[in-house]
């Protein structure tokens, strides 16, 4: 099995699929494409001041976080963008973003922490540093999940809050693709803090699914009718791809990987893809970020890899939210040699 690359789009970062469109950002602007990057339609511009110039230099942008890191759609067609510690709104029909005021966030959420809510608005899981991976004698601060209710009024509410000393932060908010109305929440980082939970009411109430130490430390989930599948995101212990029956039971190892596993996606032909991240840690044994793929949800094989670059930033391959059309997979390279900050369009063969 091989991943064949059909095209690359330099500078484009894909965020999500929406009704046949792929929405992506490039420098100071947001675009969408209906043909996986052959042609692009401009949606809106972000900065109108001097910060626009920071987005034109990839080196400056990697340190200042001036460009769009997240984008997610509201139900009315407006778009939320996360830019560093700030949030912006591109209203439906508008061409310029406006700053969203009164935000309770003082940090940038993780890649899978921004999710359109089943009950409306957009959910954002908190991803603070919270005293680092090893807090020492410090007690973790409470960790909330916030919601922006509507793009027209700057109204925030807190959906749920994990009490002081519970978790370091939220790793992912993910909608179940099999069970209607069900959503999932992943936390980290220590053994006692790593967990996977489910909810049927946009996280107002939460039920535990897996509290198995580092094996439950994950940043994304995939689903079948019988199993939940995820990548183990641990630089401390063996990482890999695992699954657990929805009905319960032990975690089953499907594949070991040399680096922590971060993101996952699928396509319309139900192929599964996971990506690894090159970061410091005793269990990290490779300097290449890789894509592992499976056509049956059981047998996972490495199908693509890129060498990490030399800058102090984790090297990782990111997937947009949503399933790719037909047999395609879309991904984005960050902190990699030669093709850093590039969108790839590929397909499985063999």
pLDDT score, position 151: 83
List, for residues 186-209, the tens digit of each pLDDT value: 999 999 999 999 999 999 999 999
Joined together, the tokens standing for residue 253 give 């190892």
Q: Is the pLDDT of residue 48 over 90?
A: yes
Span 318-337, mean pLDDT?
Answer: 97
Q: Are 18 and 347 in contact (CB under 8 A)?
A: no
Q: Please tell me the number of Cα atoms within 13 Å of 295 on its side-chain side.
A: 12
List, for residues 140-196, the tens digit of each pLDDT value: 999 999 999 888 767 899 999 999 999 999 999 999 999 999 999 999 999 999 999
Over the chain, what is the mean pLDDT? 96
Domains for the chain: give ranges and CATH numbers: 2-349 (2.130.10.10)
pLDDT score, position 35: 98
Compute the distance between CA of residue 161 and CA of residue 167 in angstroms, rounded to an integer: 10
pLDDT score, position 51: 95
Q: Is the pLDDT of residue 118 over 80?
A: yes
pLDDT score, position 119: 84
List, for residues 228-267, the tens digit of each pLDDT value: 999 999 999 999 999 999 999 999 999 999 999 999 999 9
Q: Are 196 and 218 in contact (CB under 8 A)?
A: yes
């Amino acid at each position: 099995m091989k991943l064949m690359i059909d095209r690359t789009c330099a500078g484009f970062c894909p965020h999500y699929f929406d009704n046949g469109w792929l929405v992506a950002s490039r420098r100071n602007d947001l675009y969408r494409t209906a043909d996986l990057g052959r042609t692009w339609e401009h949606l809106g511009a972000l900065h109108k001041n001097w910060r626009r110039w920071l987005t034109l230099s990839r080196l400056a942008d990697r340190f200042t976080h001036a460009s769009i890191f997240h984008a997610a759609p509201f139900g009315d067609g407006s778009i939320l963008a996360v830019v560093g510690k700030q949030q912006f709104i591109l209203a439906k029909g508008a061409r310029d973003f406006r700053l969203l005021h009164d935000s309770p966030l003082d940090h940038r959420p993780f890649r899978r922490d921004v999710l359109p809510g089943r009950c409306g608005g957009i959910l954002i899981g908190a991803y603070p540093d919270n005293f680092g991976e090893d807090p020492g004698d410090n007690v973790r601060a409470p960790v909330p999940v916030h919601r922006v209710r509507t793009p027209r009024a700057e109204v925030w509410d807190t959906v749920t809050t994990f009490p002081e000393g519970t978790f370091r932060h939220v790793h992912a908010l993910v909608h179940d693709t099999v069970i209607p109305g069900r959503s999932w929440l992943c936390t980290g980082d220590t053994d006692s803090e790593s967990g996977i939970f489910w909810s049927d009411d946009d996280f107002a109430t939460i039920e535990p699914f897996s509290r198995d130490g580092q094996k439950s430390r994950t940043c994304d989930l995939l689903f079948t009718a019988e199993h939940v599948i995820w990548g183990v995101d641990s630089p401390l212990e063996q990482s890999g791809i695992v699954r657990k029956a929805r009905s319960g039971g032990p975690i089953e190892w499907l594949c070991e990987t040399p680096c922590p596993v971060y993101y996952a996606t699928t396509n319309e032909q139900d192929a599964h893809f996971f990506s690894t991240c090159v970061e410091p840690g005793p269990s990290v044994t490779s300097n290449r970020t890789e894509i592992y793929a499976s056509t049956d949800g059981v047998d996972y094989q490495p199908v693509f890899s890129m060498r990490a670059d030399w800058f102090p930033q984790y090297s990782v391959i990111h997937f947009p939210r949503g399933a790719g059309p037909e047999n395609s997979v879309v991904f984005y390279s960050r902190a990699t040699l030669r093709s850093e900050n590039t969108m790839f369009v590929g397909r499985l063969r063999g």
